[in-house]
Amino acid sequence: MPASTPIRSLFTRAKPTQAVAGNGTVAAEPPNADQGAAAAESPRKRARRHARRARLHGYALVSVALFAVVIALAASNTARAKVSWVVGSSRVSLVWMVLAAAVVGWLLGLATAAWLHHRTRAPH
């Protein structure tokens, strides 16, 4: 080690984001990427991002409310009911009918959304 190296630099540790030069000194930190991105974001983009976040929060709130309604319906319908099929009939608990209808409706909604997205997408 050269004699001109100060003792303080022997004990200086680099942060994970800092580079250590060949002479043992710590290089200057690069500017924070988050600060540059925030400064470059236009007011319109910021408003659009906040609106999207609010919309996602609304979807989450509605989803939780619908889930609570399905659970309440299932809990209040514990009796058995006769279900007539094309080739026969059976007795099923209403809880399972409510939950099955909710799952089938959810899957049909997903399939319909995917189909509409496919049909209305922009041409290549």
Q: Residue 5's pLDDT band (boundaries 50, 70, 90)? A: low
> Which one is predicted more confidently, 123 or 13?
123
Please report how many Cα atoms fall inside a 13 Å half-sphere around the Cα of residue 68, on the Cβ side.
6
Q: What's the pLDDT at 50? A: 92
pLDDT of residue 77: 83
28-45: pLDDT as tens digits: 555 555 555 556 888 899
Whether the per-residue pLDDT at 66 is higher than 70: the answer is yes
pLDDT value of residue 13: 56
